[in-house]
């Protein structure tokens, strides 16, 4: 209830500011007292210098340090969450009160240079999402985490059917209408960026990557080793949701081959077993389920008619 009142108050504050800005920049912050004020000032300087009207929204996610005070001192619109609820929840809270047709997200830890924002904004003219691609030069990412990121990116790319150079970059620009349709699917945790990447690519949205220089963060990372397995599960789950045949068809093929070769072996030794039959039947069942799931996914992803219009 307290968080709802905070969001409502913040929405009214944004509405009183006047004309709609060109871009809303949402900055989630949790224990980032050392960098949040400088991050806001950097965003303001770059966008003002480029002549781009903007609003900056900092979401304090229950920080235990002086992040809230630093954010208020920066002059940004501040949403204060009394309890830590996650990176994704902070972003959704900021997006909910934003007003511009373009929405940018940017981490508060100083790793993503705001100097790329004007170019990314220009790229949204013909893209639904523009991602700041850290590429192979992720000098700010600890060496021990790089193999896991590589495996995650490659797995997601194979399952989504697209080459994904940076799956969970925290610097992104969205067209509002493209982003808002996926808000109900987006989680409250770190996997927000992974989820929106897979949602947009699997739905045929236009996604572009802009190579950026990734800086050294101020403070400590909030990521944990167990998050890798959570991300892998998320990739598989979203693939089943958007592109189920990419999971069901290979799984069915594996069962079919196992059953087929077991059947050939059984015929050779003149002792046909139920294992071969179960393998073949299991393959047929998986393929049938995959086709049904794909049909449901296609129906869910059909463009919805706008209010007042009749479907063709």
- Whether residue 147 is found in the same domain as residue 173: yes
Does any domain span residue 40? yes
Does any domain span residue 312? no
Does any domain span residue 154? yes
- The model's pLDDT over 95-140, given as tens digits with 9 standing for 90+, comes to 999 999 999 999 998 889 999 999 999 999 999 999 999 875 555 5
Supply the pLDDT for residue 103.
97
- Whether residue 15 is found in the same domain as residue 100: yes
Dihedral sign, Cα of residue 31, residue 109, residue 217, residue 201:
positive
Residue ranges of the chain with per-residue pLDDT less than 70: 1-18, 136-161, 215-232, 234-235, 238, 297-298, 300-312
Supply the pLDDT for residue 243.
73
Does any domain span residue 56? yes
- Whether residue 270 is found in the same domain as residue 184: no
- Whether residue 252 is found in the same domain as residue 171: no
Tokens matching residue 158: 């194979």
- pTM score: 0.72
Give residue 28's domain range: 2-242
Supply the pLDDT for residue 246.
78
- Whether residue 65 is found in the same domain as residue 91: yes
């Amino acid at each position: 209830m307290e968080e709802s009142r905070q969001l409502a108050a913040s929405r009214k504050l944004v509405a009183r500011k006047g004309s709609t800005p060109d871009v809303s920049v949402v900055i989630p912050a949790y224990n980032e007292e050392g960098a949040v004020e400088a991050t806001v000032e950097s965003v303001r300087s770059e966008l003002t210098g480029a002549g781009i009207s903007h609003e900056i929204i900092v979401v304090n996610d229950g920080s235990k340090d002086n992040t809230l005070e630093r954010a208020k001192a920066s002059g940004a619109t501040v949403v204060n969450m009394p309890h830590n609820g996650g990176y994704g929840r902070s972003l959704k809270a900021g997006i909910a009160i934003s007003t511009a047709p373009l929405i940018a997200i940017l981490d508060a830890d100083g790793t993503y240079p705001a100097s790329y924002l004007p170019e990314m904004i220009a790229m949204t003219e013909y893209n639904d999402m523009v991602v700041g691609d850290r590429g192979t030069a992720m000098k700010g990412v600890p060496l021990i985490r790089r193999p896991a990121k590589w495996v995650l990116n490659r797995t997601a790319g194979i399952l989504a059917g697209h080459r994904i150079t940076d799956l969970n970059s925290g610097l992104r620009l969205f067209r509002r209408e493209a982003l808002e349709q996926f808000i109900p699917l987006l989680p409250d945790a770190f996997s927000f960026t992974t989820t929106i990447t897979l949602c947009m690519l699997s739905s045929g949205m236009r996604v572009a990557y802009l190579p950026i220089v990734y800086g050294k963060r101020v403070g400590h990372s909030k990521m944990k080793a167990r998050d890798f397995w959570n991300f892998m599960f998320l990739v598989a789950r979203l693939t089943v949701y958007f592109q189920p045949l990419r999971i069901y068809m290979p799984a069915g093929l594996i069962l079919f081959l196992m059953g087929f070769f077991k059947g050939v072996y059984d015929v050779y030794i003149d002792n046909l077993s139920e294992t071969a039959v179960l393998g073949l039947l299991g393959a047929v069942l998986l393929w049938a389920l995959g086709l049904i799931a794909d049909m449901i996914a296609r129906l869910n992803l059909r463009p919805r008619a706008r209010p007042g219009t009749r479907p063709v």
